[in-house]
Structure 1
């Protein structure tokens, strides 16, 4: 019954958005309420579920998204994005731009949450595409593939770290094997899949002069722009803080999360927190791309205001998706999946992947899907003496599959890339599924080699 309600709810959501052109945020909230009723939730608790879902996602994202958009716009308006784009083009040339974007996105993705990475890297990649006169999608798909693979497989990302800890897997081993697993996923879902999509959907591979989320990219004289080093440092300033905190955690604490840090651990945790990192980075950007460039505070405020306007609707859409996710969790969809998979004779690696896939499709959140799958698979893993590292990576692969309307990443990709819902299914949902399937195959191969 829960699965039937879920399917009907998703169909209703798609009909409202695609057929009747109802605002996405409104459609998500209306669908969430109807699905909650269909799942038999107490009507008095539905509003609380909506508020919990929205509040849990917006608490951090308001600052991360808001300040990320402001930093990106400050860098763009000062000519920093143009300088970065021009330098990368001169350094790598058009033929190797995809490689440059993939490597940079993967490195950044190890330290940053997917949402943070997308906010920071997208304006730069768009500027590179615009300056090189290539379609943004040509570079954007590899960028998204690299960020997503890092999110699914590599500690210290929250989901793989939490799953590894729950299964008792060594976080260092998960990181090393995860890198080996992630690289083929990025190659297939990035450059290779870009060629396939371009063949079947040439209409999305057009050179755009602006994106709604970032506005029109201005043209600059290179001598009037900030230096490459300062522009890059400002754009990636949050990465510096989070990367240092990550390296410190891996070296000093073995990748473990300290519940009540004190002393140096407390300060490293403070500066490495995405919220604090974005606040400090925002202040630095106001100086480096504003006051240092001779701009007045009034001009800086104008840039910041424009940045906030550009992401207002995106934040609402993500809030609606989070509300939908919370209704599914509170309505018992996760428990239904657990009961369905408890009695099976599948390989523990394939089972772990399959459970994570079902939960991902049902609940939307990769982190929730991964943690729930870990709880379901742990008893079987223990009884069969399966390698916890491989199980953790299999869950990571499964948690990325088939991103759709109940996942915030789906709506971020749709808004940032300025495409339709149908095109987002064709590009983003398939990209995530490719990473998931290739990831499973790589885990099975690594399990054979190592064990």
Structure 2
């Protein structure tokens, strides 16, 4: 039995977990260095236990996974740093915050941020929504002088729920395709499940944890707390107009959504296919966020007293901050990729495949454990979908509920091996402990609430 365990991916997972805790928590190494060492360590174990994985691969596959991560988030994070810096220091973020408060009242600022995040995350990926709304959360905290934990949680809640429940985000879209579920029904059931999960995770848990911890506003994304507080106390007449302030967010949302809309509906509306080449370019998140960054930077130049040379230096500082965040986020993803290469996902999935509980709960449990083990929500969802697809005929409810159960499981417990954990930590200016109490706990609340909603709705409204 000991020999069997020694050759099990569980050993690799356990060593990886011990390494990140030892390096990042006990020894307090810089996150990038600690994650790189942990990834190399997991790679060395893979070379011992995984067929066709060499000691050389421990180095090259770590570098490749890091490069793949940078290809996905490098430009968006750098442009998000420019957007955040520009919106915060031009006063644009503060103007949007004041508009929110005028509309819903200052005591309902969390509802304004929560609803914005939830709606925007349906057509736009999680990371893009967080890039755009995190500056608003920081400005709201500077304006109110409290509730930073709440504001970050509500922004994360809307983005995270849509990411795993509502197509056309990639995870639920791919799972629905694998299982063979109608897209329209998946979207309908997705909204039904996402809403209670977003409310429980964002508003209920957010207010609960906010009453128990106080997170200070720290320097982040190239902007100091003193600068934020100065903008928070500035007269409204000295701030950009609402439309100009919101232009970077509007541009990013419209451009990214244009690709989503055309790609989703061109089969039913052939006229849209002629737009495909155009939106494939401008709707790419790299291009969309670059255009948004230009708009934000020009507003910053217009509404500041900086010379062009000083303005350029300030933007360069923001890019330096963004580069550090991108490196940490990509290395967190690489650590998760090396854990996945150990075979931990398929090992857990095959171990749980025949445990004898209901199909919906089985799907949730498999996705949840794979997610915790290897980090990626989308990978956990696709792994589980491949296992559950042949069993769909045994369901007594609509298979869209199976998609939701898989999505709920795939969202649970974002921690050190998930690039999203590092994204939230670095952009939000949080400590590791604060990120665990807010973001990691939030993803778990969403997951548990999601599966409960699935079980309730499928019992009351099976749609079969």
Q: TM-score, structure 1 length as denominator?
A: 0.92
Counterparts in 2 of 1:207-286, with a 5 A limit?
208=217, 210-216=218-224, 217=228, 218-219=230-231, 220-253=234-267, 263-286=274-297
- Report runs of 4+ in structure 1 exceeding 6 Å deviation: 292-295
- Report deviation, 1:64: 0.7
Query: Any gaps of 5 or more consecutive residues in structure 1?
Result: none
Counterparts in 2 of 1:282-361, with a 5 A limit?
282-290=293-301, 297-361=308-372
- Report deviation, 1:418: 2.7
Work out the CA distance in 1 between the residues paired with 2:144 and 2:433.
28
Query: Any gaps of 5 or more consecutive residues in structure 2?
Result: 1-7
Pick from 148, 153, 157 the counterpart of residue 169 of structure 2.
157
| Range with bigger deviation, 67-76 or 378-387 | 378-387
**C-alpha distance 90-183 of structure 1, shift in aligned 2 (>3 A):** same
Work out the CA distance in 1 between the residues paired with 2:242 and 2:328.
34
Q: Is 1:9 aligned to 2:5, yes or no?
A: no
| Range with bigger deviation, 145-154 or 34-43 | 34-43
Work out the CA distance in 1 between the residues paired with 2:71 and 2:152.
27
Work out the CA distance in 1 between the residues paired with 2:275 and 2:237.
42
Work out the CA distance in 1 between the residues paired with 2:303 and 2:431.
40
Residues 89 and 132 of structure 1 are in contact (CA less than 8 Å); yes or no, is this contact kept in structure 2?
no
**C-alpha distance 170-300 of structure 1, shift in aligned 2 (>3 A):** farther
Which deviations, in whole Å up to 9, do the C-alpha atoms of 1:162-219 show, x marking residues without a partner?
Answer: 11112111122211211111111111111211232234x3343x4x3x4323422142
Task: Name the residue aligned to 1:412.
Answer: 423
Q: Secondary structure at the match of 1:130?
A: helix
Task: Name the residue aligned to 2:4.
Answer: none
Work out the CA distance in 2 between the residues paired with 1:88 and 1:162.
35
Q: TM-score, structure 2 length as denominator?
A: 0.89
Task: Name the residue aligned to 1:172.
Answer: 184
The CA RMSD over aligned residues, in Å, is: 2.3
Residues 92 and 239 of structure 2 are in contact (CA less than 8 Å); yes or no, is this contact kept in structure 1?
yes
**C-alpha distance 107-12 of structure 1, shift in aligned 2 (>3 A):** same
Residues 70 and 327 of structure 2 are in contact (CA less than 8 Å); yes or no, is this contact kept in structure 1?
no
**C-alpha distance 433-267 of structure 1, shift in aligned 2 (>3 A):** same
Residues 301 and 311 of structure 2 are in contact (CA less than 8 Å); yes or no, is this contact kept in structure 1?
yes
Work out the CA distance in 1 between the residues paired with 2:100 and 2:304.
22
- Report deviation, 1:385: 6.6
Work out the CA distance in 1 between the residues paired with 2:210 and 2:264.
40
Counterparts in 2 of 1:60-75, with a 5 A limit?
60-75=72-87
Work out the CA distance in 2 between the residues paired with 1:196 and 1:182.
20
Q: Is 1:82 aligned to 2:82, yes or no?
A: no
Task: Name the residue aligned to 1:422.
Answer: 433
Q: Secondary structure at the match of 2:29?
A: coil
- Report deviation, 1:310: 2.0
- Report deviation, 1:85: 1.8
